[in-house]
Chain A
Amino acid sequence: MRPVAAFLIGGLFGLGLLIGGMTDTDRVQNWLDIFGAWDPTLAFVMGGAILPMAVAWRVAAARGRAGGAAALGGPLPEPRDYRPIDRDLVTGSALFGVGWALVGLCPGPSVAVLGFGGWPAWLFLAAMAAGMAGARFLRRGLPDPDPVCG
């Protein structure tokens, strides 16, 4: 049941990326071009996405405090930072921002575009996977035992 739910949720997420224009690299690059042809659309995508998620965190926190679990079982992630603000967070995010501007794709849209982006989409994915594999050798702290994002 978990993979079925994940597949449907992934599909919904991908559809949102497509409708919001996140798979259009011109639009993304124009959003980053504040001194040029600035396109504010992505701020609306971000705002729209944050609203349901803010509600979900409140529900998860309340449910977690009451000892509840996720609908398909297992613990609910706690609404707290699992790691400190460290150098890896800042240098990593800065590096990510540079790559985001170079091509106009971040990880979600890079997956959503695979079916219609042609070979450049697959080349970008391969390079991204290689970068991800290399990260463990550059991390200053210990390898992460818990793959929670955030």
Chain B
Amino acid sequence: MDPWLAGFAGGLIIGIAAAAFLLVNGRVLGVSGVLGGIVDGSGRGSLGESIALLAGMALVPAIAAAIAGGTETGLTANPVLLVLGGLAVGLGTRLAFGCTSGHGVCGVARLSRRGLTATVTFVGAGFVTMALLRGVLGVI
């Protein structure tokens, strides 16, 4: 399949899942919010639901990848990059109360001012980081 078409199809599935979480469970599908709520205890009231969401999110792709005979992930094995990247993503998304799903998909879909601000900022920061670290320094 054309990667653009696969991207659009994958996106539609993501959006349908987020739409279902809103209308069926009455919650915004923001993964950093769900994860962060478990980590810092603020999501105590919906713990079972949150864990079930994450379990499905991890299990179904694992099964699909096994059926497909493995899948490509270019994930780095550099522990310094993994720890720094993980810390930055965790801290940043919880300060901003949202990530690619909560702000980028759910927020932008209703033209939220916070969602649009966050999305422009994290995509912009990603562009700058990549330009510096890959384009100029050649380290990632």
Contact = CB atoms under 8 A, between A and B. Distances in A.
B132 to A, nearest CB: 9
B6 A55 contact: no
A132 B23 CA distance: 27
A77 B24 contact: no
Interface SS of chain B: helix
A81 B114 CA distance: 7
Contacts of B107: 150
A54 B94 CA distance: 24
Given A9-B17, A15-B64, A147-B42, A48 B79 contact: no
Given A53-B106, A54-B109, A103-B86, A92 B94 contact: yes
Interface residues of B, number: 120
B34 to A, nearest CB: 8
B40 A133 contact: yes
Interface in A58-114: 59-60, 63, 69-77, 79-81, 83, 85, 88-108, 110-114
27 contacts: A2-B52, A4-B52, A6-B56, A11-B56, A18-B65, A21-B10, A22-B10, A24-B74, A36-B130, A43-B7, A44-B11, A46-B104, A47-B11, A51-B109, A53-B22, A77-B26, A83-B114, A88-B96, A92-B96, A97-B126, A100-B126, A103-B85, A112-B57, A120-B77, A129-B35, A138-B91, A149-B103
Interface of B: 3-37, 39-40, 42-43, 46, 48-66, 70-77, 79, 81-110, 112-115, 117-119, 121-131, 133-135, 140
- Which are the 3 A-B pairs with shortest beta-carbon distances? A20-B10, A115-B62, A48-B11
Given A6-B56, A129-B35, A144-B97, 16 more contacts: A3-B49, A10-B55, A15-B13, A49-B12, A53-B19, A57-B110, A70-B22, A93-B119, A95-B125, A100-B100, A101-B130, A103-B75, A105-B89, A113-B61, A127-B86, A128-B89
